[in-house]
Homo-oligomer: A and B are copies of this chain.
């Protein structure tokens, strides 16, 4: 069932009229169902193409997942870099990142599900080019934290990596719940609360600004 694949992810053949139909169909099916519960037959039917065509563009079923995820991620990154421009201060950048992050999840439930539920736990995912993009993205987070530490905005008595994990983990956990239970969530409010909490901590203190 879970075959270990080689490292190579994507098929060279990355364009073609049918490809879009397939990946769109796949995406739409993921909105309602789990990856394993989706059959290639179904994908082909929805896409209006033959099952065989899937295998012209994708190495195997799971490759659909990686290529779709990759498209989401690639579409994301440039936006992300733009978003941070003109923002001063690590904390402000983090706040902005939070918002974009949460907003993206709230708008793209399929993307979120893929990331949170489908690909994790598959060894080959961590070898994939796609995972590199996720790591690149995490790197941005870390850089901002480092910047904050250097500028004195962020505490230096806690490992930056742990800070990143808590920040990203918080977002994911909060969004995951909402996604699983199909609840709406407001990026504005969530960002506000999360920043408030994570910046200043849960302790009610006397002298914070």
Q: Does A157 contact B (CB under 8 A)?
A: yes
Q: Does A86 contact B (CB under 8 A)?
A: no
Contact of A173 among B153, B166, B206 (CB under 8 A): B166
Q: A174-B165, A208-B207 are in contact. Are A200 and B198 (CB under 8 A)?
A: no
Query: Which residues of the other chain, B, contact A122 by a CB distance below 8 angstroms?
Result: 34
How far is the CB of A117 from the nearest CB of chain B, in Å?
Answer: 4
26 contacts between A and B (CB under 8 A): A91-B203, A116-B121, A120-B176, A120-B180, A126-B180, A148-B202, A155-B197, A155-B202, A156-B204, A158-B193, A158-B197, A158-B202, A162-B174, A162-B190, A162-B194, A166-B166, A166-B173, A166-B197, A166-B198, A167-B202, A168-B173, A169-B169, A169-B173, A205-B207, A206-B207, A207-B207
Q: Are B159 and A166 in contact (CB under 8 A)?
A: no
Contact of A209 among B39, B156, B193, B206 (CB under 8 A): B206
Q: A170-B166, A170-B169 are in contact. Are A201 and B199 (CB under 8 A)?
A: yes
Q: Does A129 contact B (CB under 8 A)?
A: no
Query: Which residues of the other chain, B, contact A154 by a CB distance below 8 angstroms?
Result: 202-204
How far is the CB of A16 from the nearest CB of chain B, in Å?
Answer: 15
Q: Are A197 and B162 in contact (CB under 8 A)?
A: yes
Considering the complex, which residues of chain A in the window 157-190 have a beta carbon less than 8 Å from any beta carbon of chain B?
157-159, 162-163, 165-170, 172-174, 176-177, 180, 190
